[in-house]
């Protein structure tokens, strides 16, 4: 295919590092991506409605643990990275990457409001030759059915006047081994020109780029990846419930099964799913499937099992308290960790939030310790993290390891009089006071 002049121009500007890059949404996905593009030599502007985030970035400070302050400071000082809430500047960008959240509504339907607002801002100043890429996780068809019509409403045509692609984010917060640079980037454009330009852009900052045939394929890739995890976690959570009934240590079972060099991949039970992807993405897929008249029974069953895990944790707390003849009502219960996974401060969809709410509803007095989450507001409850040393010395009726942060001293936690361990963080400790998932 012979590219038209605007398309040829964006590829050449990317090759020569003259392209100006705009990133909409400066969270766990957007900020690391902005830093990688700036580090590669591009002029990068981050766009976010949160003025506090913008101020921090412009002052050379990072609010994402995976992005060191030193990196932001150096790039801001070099004039290659800045942040703003002024969306009118999007018209000055050559390439625009949309990295906004895609939560679920209470009805478990997709909430595309953040995508819609971001695309509206892009459309307001869209000009010929621009490359627009959506990274936000969503259902197959979003780029063609939602984004493309909004951008074309002003008269410009995708794949002719401007380029449009989808590239699913694959960020794993807190993972130092697999980063934005090292995780392969899947890219699908509306057509060959869009795919070529988007691949050229990511190839400057990511070690491996994988082009696919369409935006729908790229959208489906992310949903498959996270649905795979959600279904397998649902399976192992059900095995954990079954093992408890049969008085079998599920953690020992998984460790032993994991020695098989083929045909088995270990997944681990836990208090429930959290984060911005795994608890949400399967619902995006099943919702879209229903629009096509297909019922995802297997996927939805896994979702039901995973969603019920916080209730099971509370039951284990009740079992632990019953062993010392105490009820949940009136008991002082302390959670170690409230983030959705270890060594991050993200509480989005964290099962600890549901555990807290369920315990409070049953009359418990709940506190928590989390070095990454200094304060917590949820369900009308405002809590502050209790320092670890003070938590260890406090007379709680029961403690719960809800998130296995490496910063915790588990030998000291294991010495507490009554514990529920939801993460197998106390592996190696065999006290009868420890109740495992």
Which stretch of DSSP H or E encloses residue 189?
strand 185-189
Strand extents, DSSP E, 344-429: 365-369, 375-378, 381-384, 398-401, 419-421
* Phi then psi dihedrals of residue 29, to 5 deg: -95, -50
Q: What is the DSSP letter of 44?
A: E
Q: How far is CA 1 from CA 103, 211, 295, 407, in A?
A: 38, 16, 39, 55
Collapsing DSSP states into helix, strand and coil, what is residue 82? strand
CA angle 358, 397, 420 (to 5 degrees): 65
Q: How far is Cα of residue 34 from the mean position of the Cα atoms in its chain?
A: 17
Beta-bridge mates of residue 43 = 20
What is the Cα–Cα distance from 75 to 71, expressed in whole angstroms?
6
CB distance 190 to 215 below 8 Å: yes
Sheet arrangement for strand 95-98:
81-84, 43-47, 20-24, 95-98, 131-134, 163-166, 185-189, 209-211
Phi/psi region, residue 424 (left: phi>0; alpha: psi -120 to 50; beta: rest), is left
Neighbours of 435 (CB within 10 A): 19
Total Cβ atoms within 10 A of residue 260: 10
Asked if 362 and 314 count as a contact pair (C-beta separation under 8 A), the reply is yes
Backbone φ, ψ for residue 359 (5° rounding): -65, -45
Backbone φ, ψ for residue 185 (5° rounding): -110, 115
Which entry of 199, 277, 296, 398 is annotated as an active-site residue? Answer: 277
199 annotated active-site:
no
Please give the structure tokens belonging to residue 64.
């994402």
Where do we find the tokens 């030998």?
411
Tokens, residue 238: 């059900």
Q: Which two tokens stand for residue 320?
A: 């632990």
Contacts for 191 with CB less than 8 Å, ≥ 6 apart: 1, 158, 159
Q: Which secondary-structure segment (H or E) carries 435?
A: strand 434-436
Q: Which residues are catalytic?
A: 277
């Amino acid at each position: 295919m012979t590219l038209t002049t605007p398309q040829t121009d964006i590829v050449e500007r990317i090759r020569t590092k003259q392209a100006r890059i705009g990133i909409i949404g400066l969270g766990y996905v957007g900020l690391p991506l902005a830093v990688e593009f700036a580090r590669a030599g591009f002029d990068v502007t981050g766009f976010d409605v949160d003025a506090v985030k913008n101020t921090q970035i412009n002052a050379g400070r990072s609010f994402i643990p995976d992005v060191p302050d030193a990196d932001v400071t150096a790039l801001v000082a070099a004039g290659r990275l800045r942040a703003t809430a002024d969306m009118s500047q999007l018209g000055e960008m050559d390439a625009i990457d949309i990295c906004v959240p895609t939560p679920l509504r209470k009805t478990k339907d997709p909430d595309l409001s953040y995508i819609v607002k971001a695309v509206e801002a892009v459309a307001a100043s869209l000009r010929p030759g621009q490359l627009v890429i959506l990274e936000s996780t969503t259902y197959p068809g979003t780029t063609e059915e939602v984004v493309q019509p909004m951008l074309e409403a002003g008269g410009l045509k995708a794949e002719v006047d401007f380029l449009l692609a989808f590239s699913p984010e694959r960020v794993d917060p807190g993972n130092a081994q697999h980063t934005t640079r090292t995780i392969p980037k899947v890219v699908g454009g509306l057509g060959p020109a869009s795919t070529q330009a988007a691949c050229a852009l990511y190839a400057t900052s990511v070690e491996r780029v994988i082009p696919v045939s369409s935006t729908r394929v790229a959208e489906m890739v992310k949903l498959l990846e996270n649905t795979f995890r959600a279904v397998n976690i649902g399976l192992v959570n059900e095995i954990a419930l079954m093992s408890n009934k049969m008085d079998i240590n599920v953690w020992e079972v998984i460790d032993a099964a994991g020695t098989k060099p083929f045909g088995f991949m270990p997944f681990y039970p836990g208090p429930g799913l959290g984060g911005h992807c795994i608890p949400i993405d399967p619902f995006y897929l099943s919702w879209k499937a229903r629009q096509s008249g297909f019922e995802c029974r297997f996927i939805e069953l896994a979702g039901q099992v995973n969603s019920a895990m916080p209730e099971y944790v509370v039951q284990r707390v009740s079992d632990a308290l019953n062993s010392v003849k105490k009820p949940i009502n009136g008991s002082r219960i302390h959670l170690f960790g409230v983030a959705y996974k270890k060594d991050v401060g993200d509480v989005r969809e964290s099962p600890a939030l549901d555990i807290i709410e369920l315990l409070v509803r049953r009359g418990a007095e709940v506190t928590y310790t989390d070095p990454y989450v200094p304060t917590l507001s949820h369900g009308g409850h405002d809590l502050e993290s209790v320092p670890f040393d003070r938590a260890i010395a406090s007379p709680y009726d029961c403690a719960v390891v809800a998130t296995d942060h490496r910063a915790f001293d588990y030998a000291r936690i294991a010495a507490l009089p009554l514990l529920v361990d939801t993460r197998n963080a106390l592996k190696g400790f065999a006290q009868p006071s420890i109740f495992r998932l």
